[in-house]
Amino acid sequence: MMLLCQLPLDPELPALSVNKIPSYVISRGKLVDELIARVNHYHIVRVNGTPASGKTVLMNLVVNKLLERYGQATPIHSLTGWDPKISKIGWAAHLEQETGVHGRSWINYRAYLLLDEAQQSYWDHEIWADFFKRIEPGTSPFIILFMSYGSPHRGFLGFGKEEHVQTLMVFAAEQQISLRPAEGVETHSLGPLPWRPVGLLLDEDEAMEVALYELVRNGVAISWAIASNILFRQPLKFFDYIKGYPFTRGLPSSRILQEHYTATVLKAAITCDGIYGSTFETKNEELKQALKGIWRNGWLHAERSDNDIRYIFASQIHRWYCHSLFTAPVPDNNLNFTTPLQLAIDTITHFQPYQLANAPRSMAVGGNLSPLEDQYQKEFYRCLFPILDGHLIMSPEFIIKTGPKGGTIDFLIAGKKWGLELLREHDRVVEHMRRFETGGQYYSMIQSGEMEQYIVLDFTNTAPKKPHPEHKGKLYHVVFSENYREVDIFDTSDLSVIKSFVLTEHTTPII
């Protein structure tokens, strides 16, 4: 049985002091408490997120909470980065320089070690093999690793040169905190209460705390309709404006589009709202390397999904930004469509029936679960994006899901001045059509000349029963049958079928 002892601190090392947290940073109390609870049980955990996802702020919040709980009774050390120059003296001697305790003695040292930018230690397989891998419940130190990238299955599998992957370390699901709360974390082995699902991204209550802070600080409220209108009209200018802010650390630059394979992978991730690692098993080495580079730079984040790895954007805003990179000035004569209806029909012919028949359940705006809450829209976008490739501006509402209070149309083909609005199951048809009338939410786009033609597509499983001649040429019902394999498109003015076709399964049009 190992004897645990408290080693003395080097008196020449300054004691860790409370970090000064800016007033605009929320406390993240639930996340901080959960992270401390998990490291107290497992003794080593990792926080894995993209650049600028809040890891450093979280580390400072955790340090402050630990100091509040333990004061100087339990030593607390925080380090940033792991320079390759450390190899000259070794990891153990470096820890002694930074903490006053030799690395070989840390296994018996009851103290907290928080390492920011821990992905920089991937080259040092000795610290992983001789220290991190030996940490388990019952040992003395408590270690939290804050990483910008890393495999969700095994530490850093598949990254870097061969010598960087010699030591594989398995983290249990409960030992990891990622961008989004992990589902199905195991019950606490020492009690009846389960670990709480938490993530780096703000939950609804925390987001409201930020919004209320801004309203109180500025004293002036701005509606989502106004904000989204500004973003939707000039998204590239907006993202260019915020280039100097920390948010953009997790975003690629426009020059990355010059790399063909990188652009191809990003397009696939944008189109399908993420991509699976298994998709690349049969792809060429250039695509595999492009995915690795994107992941390493934090533009996509790896998370476990059943027996696969899914690469996703840090948030839907990140996805929207990458979409905007492809919204470049493109000659409109490249579009072989004369009407928005013709474009819509061609898009729908590329639908994959299984994407709708086996749609995952998603949370509706009102809190109710619906299998097709947004799957029609996802499939339409998946097929529309490669057809237009640079002509399309996507509404922030389509990404952020603001519900019926949104302020802009779903899709705008700016060069053609076409607008496309999508509905599901005859949902609020009259209300949506009024948005295009005088005083409606979309009327300003018509009045300014930004949108000259528009159509509304109602995706449904039931044929319409009542004609609406007042909406002739504007409203069409897309009716699916036979397990989403047969499609009939109805003109709402007289309920005539203007197009019928059969859908077939096919591979993704991007990769």
> What HEC string does 278-346 produce?
HHHCCCCHHHHHHHHHHHHCCCCEEEEECCEEEEECCCHHHHHHHHHHCCCCCCHHHCCCCCHHHHHHH
pLDDT band at 444, cuts 50/70/90?
A: confident
Pick the more confident residue, 46 or 213: 46
Pick the more confident residue, 9 or 103: 103
Distances (CA, A) of 268 to 202, 249, 287: 26, 22, 11
The average pLDDT across 433-453 equals 89
pTM: 0.62
pLDDT of 177 strictly over 70: yes
The continuous run of DSSP H or E covering 487 comes out as: strand 486-491
**Count of beta carbons in the 10 Å neighbourhood of residue 291:** 26
Q: Tell me how far apart the alpha carbons of residues 419 and 285 are, in angstroms, rounded to a whole number.
A: 39
The average pLDDT across 348-374 equals 63
Tokens of 370: 């619906």
**Given this model, what pLDDT does residue 442 score?**
87
Q: Tell me how far apart the alpha carbons of residues 424 and 153 are, in angstroms, rounded to a whole number.
A: 38
Q: How many residues does the chain have?
A: 511
pLDDT tens by residue, 331-355? 555 678 899 999 999 999 999 898 8
Residue 185's φ and ψ, nearest 5 degrees, are: -65, 145
Q: Tell me how far apart the alpha carbons of residues 40 and 277 are, in angstroms, rounded to a whole number.
A: 33
- All structural domains of the chain: 29-204 (3.40.50), 222-326 (1.10.10), 332-511 (no CATH)
Which of 367-376, 387-396, 413-422, 481-490 is predicted most confidently?
481-490
pLDDT of 146 strictly over 70: yes
Residue 189's φ and ψ, nearest 5 degrees, are: -70, -15
User: Contact, 144 vs 35, CB < 8 A?
Assistant: yes
Give the closest residue to 142 by CA, choosing from 107, 176, 117, 100: 107
Pairing relation of β-strands 418-424 and 411-413?
antiparallel
**Given this model, what pLDDT does residue 348 score?**
96
pLDDT tens by residue, 220-276? 555 555 555 655 566 667 777 766 666 676 778 777 777 889 988 998 898 888 899
Q: Among 307-321, 341-355, 365-379, 386-400, which is the least confidently predicted range?
A: 365-379
Q: Among 5-9, 35-39, 340-344, 471-475, which is the least confidently predicted range?
A: 5-9
Q: What is the mean pLDDT of the chain?
A: 79
Q: Tell me how far apart the alpha carbons of residues 135 and 265 are, in angstroms, rounded to a whole number.
A: 37
Percent of the chain with pLDDT over 70: 72
The continuous run of DSSP H or E covering 497 comes out as: strand 496-502
pLDDT band at 371, cuts 50/70/90?
A: very low
Say which amino acid occupies 339.
T
User: Contact, 267 vs 385, CB < 8 A?
Assistant: yes
User: Contact, 146 vs 132, CB < 8 A?
Assistant: no
Q: Tell me how far apart the alpha carbons of residues 414 and 417 are, in angstroms, rounded to a whole number.
A: 5
Pairing relation of β-strands 369-370 and 392-394?
unpaired
The average pLDDT across 73-90 equals 93
**Given this model, what pLDDT does residue 81 score?**
93
Percent of the chain with pLDDT over 90: 35
**Given this model, what pLDDT does residue 324 score?**
79
Tokens of 139: 């040992």
Residue 57, classed as helix, strand or coil, is helix
The average pLDDT across 317-329 equals 77
Radius of gyration of the chain (CA): 26
